[in-house]
Amino acid sequence: MSSENSQGVTSLVESKKYDVELEAYQLYGDNLAGVLAKFRKSADYIKILYKKAKDLRHELADVRVQILAYYEKKLKRQLQEMFGLNTVKTTKNPTSPERYEMIKINGTFAICGV
């Protein structure tokens, strides 16, 4: 049913309530709780659960990598500020400045003079 007026076209849609219990009984001959209980014991449900668990483990691993990268960068910046790394320090002899750098060897930060 539609009507036109000065504001435009409007449509009215009648909807009926979907009865899940009735649908489960018509399709499977059992109530919804019984159908769900049978489905949860099926191989398909187990496959779905394993896939979902695998996806969640991958997402968790990605989050861990992102958190590790964030804190590693933050730690490196704090160490650089604390020890004055990657800056040129003037000595008594201005022609030979000392330069320090921080490098990462096997996951461990090391401070070395250049």
CA distances from 49 to 33, 54, 56 (A): 19, 9, 10
Give residue limits of the domains in the chain. Answer: 17-83, 85-114
pLDDT tops 60 at residue 10: yes
Residue pLDDT, tens place only, 53-108:
999 999 999 999 999 999 999 988 888 888 776 654 444 555 544 556 666 777 77
**Residue 33 CA, distance from chain mean position:** 33
The candidate with the shortest Cα–Cα distance to 80, out of 52, 108, 103, is: 103
Contact in structure between 72 and 104 (CB atoms under 8 Å): no
pTM: 0.48
Tokens (6 digits) for 16: 């009926």
pLDDT at site 90: 46
Cα separation, 29 vs 33, whole angstroms: 12
